[in-house]
């Protein structure tokens, strides 16, 4: 049986419709640099000044904590921090340092509803997360509590995870982990208070145990700060039998190269 091929006119109409959607988006969100707000020619494009201030995290870095080294200690070497205090997850990877224009992107996605930025941000994360992303069985976001979700309407981590799943072709698991305890915002809390805040805050959603048992997973969040939240989720995943957990965040709030 011949496969259905849309006629040229249908394709033209669809492409026109897509352009229309693009035009409407331009009206709602005129193209502006997400870093500083100056007008730019295209969506999700930085102005040259902001672009030059984005610091991508490249090797050499600690293979466990993903922290950039200021010198090359040789392949496979770990940071003193990873040796002294091994994390619950298997490794952390972040695309950029949480500063300058990259910090602006995180803020725009989270607080200004700029979900149109998520695809580009996920593209950067996709590169940082290889080869673990390609080898994983599923991609999960750090979940929001349902009352906060209702207030904010979307979960920035889930937006990033959804685009990562699309771009990498790996399964998106948005409901595998749930936030069972309403926590206060982590911003402004000490490392210790952050840990206490998210303790026992997450659980595997009933019936979703097979998503986790024996699986290689990628856990997605927007920013890695002290790691309290992703550690708490990783603990739940490991306890439920996850074989391997890579934490992948867009930005890392590090003091700088170590």
Q: Should residue 105 be labelled a site residue for Zn ion when binding is judged by CB under 5 A?
A: no
36 binds Zn ion (CB under 5 A): yes
Sheet with 244-252, side-by-side order of all strands = 91-97, 244-252, 216-224, 138-141
The span from the CA of 193 to the CA of 216, in Å, is 30
Please tell me the count of residues contacting Zn ion according to CB under 5 A: 5
Window contacting Zn ion (CB under 5 A); options: 13-21, 30-38, 67-75, 161-169: 30-38
- Give the number of other Cβ atoms within 10 Å of residue 185's Cβ: 8
Question: Minimum distance from CB of 42 to Zn ion (Å)?
Answer: 13
237 binds Zn ion (CB under 5 A): no
Select the residue interacting with Zn ion from 43, 44, 47, 165 (CB under 5 A).
47
Is the preceding omega at residue 110 within 30 degrees of 0, hence cis?
no
Q: Are 44 and 50 in contact (CB under 8 A)?
A: no
The reply to whether 33 sits near Zn ion by the rule CB under 5 A is yes
Residue 126 sits in the site that holds Zn ion (CB under 5 A): no
* 35 is a site residue for Zn ion (CB under 5 A): yes
206-232: burial string, b at 16+ Cβ within 10 Å, e else: eebeebbeebbbbbbbbbbbbbbbbbb
50 is a contact residue toward Zn ion (CB under 5 A): yes
**Residue 77 interacts with Zn ion (CB under 5 A)?**
no
The token pair at 75 is: 């392949």
Which one, 36 or 258, has the nearer CB to Zn ion?
A: 36
In the complex, which residues of this chain contact Zn ion (CB under 5 A)? Answer: 33, 35-36, 47, 50
């Amino acid at each position: 049986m011949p496969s259905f091929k849309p006629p040229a006119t249908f394709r033209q109409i669809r492409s026109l419709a897509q352009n229309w959607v693009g035009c409407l988006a331009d009206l709602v969100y005129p193209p502006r640099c997400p870093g500083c707000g100056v007008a730019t020619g295209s969506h999700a494009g930085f102005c040259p000044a902001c672009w030059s201030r984005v610091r991508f995290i490249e090797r050499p870095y600690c293979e466990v904590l993903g922290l950039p080294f200021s010198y090359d200690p040789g392949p496979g070497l770990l940071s003193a921090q990873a040796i002294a205090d091994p994390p619950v997850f298997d490794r952390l990877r972040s695309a950029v340092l949480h500063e300058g224009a990259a910090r602006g992107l995180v803020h725009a996605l989270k607080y200004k509803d700029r979900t149109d930025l998520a695809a580009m941000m996920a593209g950067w994360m996709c590169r940082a997360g290889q080869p673990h992303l390609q080898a994983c069985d599923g991609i999960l976001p750090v979940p929001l509590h349902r009352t906060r979700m209702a207030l904010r309407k979307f979960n920035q981590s889930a937006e990033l995870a959804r685009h990562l799943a699309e771009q990498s072709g790996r399964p998106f698991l948005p409901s595998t982990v749930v936030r069972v305890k309403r926590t206060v915002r982590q911003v402004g809390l000490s490392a210790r208070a952050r840990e206490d805040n998210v303790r026992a805050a997450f659980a595997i959603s009933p019936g979703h145990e097979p998503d986790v048992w024996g699986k290689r997973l990628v856990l997605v969040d927007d920013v890695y700060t002290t790691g309290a939240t992703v550690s708490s989720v990783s603990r739940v995943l490991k306890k439920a039998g996850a074989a391997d957990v890579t934490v992948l965040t867009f930005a890392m709030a590090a003091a700088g190269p170590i």
